[in-house]
Structure 1
């Protein structure tokens, strides 16, 4: 009697395809309901944090430029 691997047996193809489709459907449902919203929430949080940090860096840059101008201006007047 010949032994056939179950994956290649024509009688079990229907059951294998059905099991595959059910598994993919469950994975798709899980991804849509829990995983993808979690990643979207993280992306929104990171974007908000990056925007806040960018504004903070711009403020610091403006302050530093003002300080450099003030130091140069005071130094010039001190030398007069």
Structure 2
């Protein structure tokens, strides 16, 4: 089996190291910055949605209070 031949192990290790080096560079320069951009976009979206949820919750609580007070006045 050629992959276990002692004469070719040096070239196989060298080829593997070259391949892994280029894979490392590819990940550092392209993949990781892309993932960071996606994470920043998602965090912005989550913060924006959280602010909307808080605003809607406050609006609904105010509306409930107003309705309750209106019915209290109506029933008197």
User: Which structure has the greater CA radius of gyration?
Assistant: 1
Aligned to 1:62: 58
**TM-score scaled by structure 1?**
0.94
How many pairs does the alignment contain? 76
- Distance of 2:4 and 2:45 partners within structure 1: 53
Q: Which has the higher contact order (CA 8 A, sep 6+)?
A: 2
**TM-score scaled by structure 2?**
0.99
Q: Which runs of 4+ in 1 moved over 6 A?
A: none
Pair 1:37 & 2:27 matched: no
Aligned to 1:21: 17
Larger relative helix fraction: 2
Gaps of 5+ in 1: none
Q: CA RMSD in A?
A: 0.3
Gaps of 5+ in 2: none
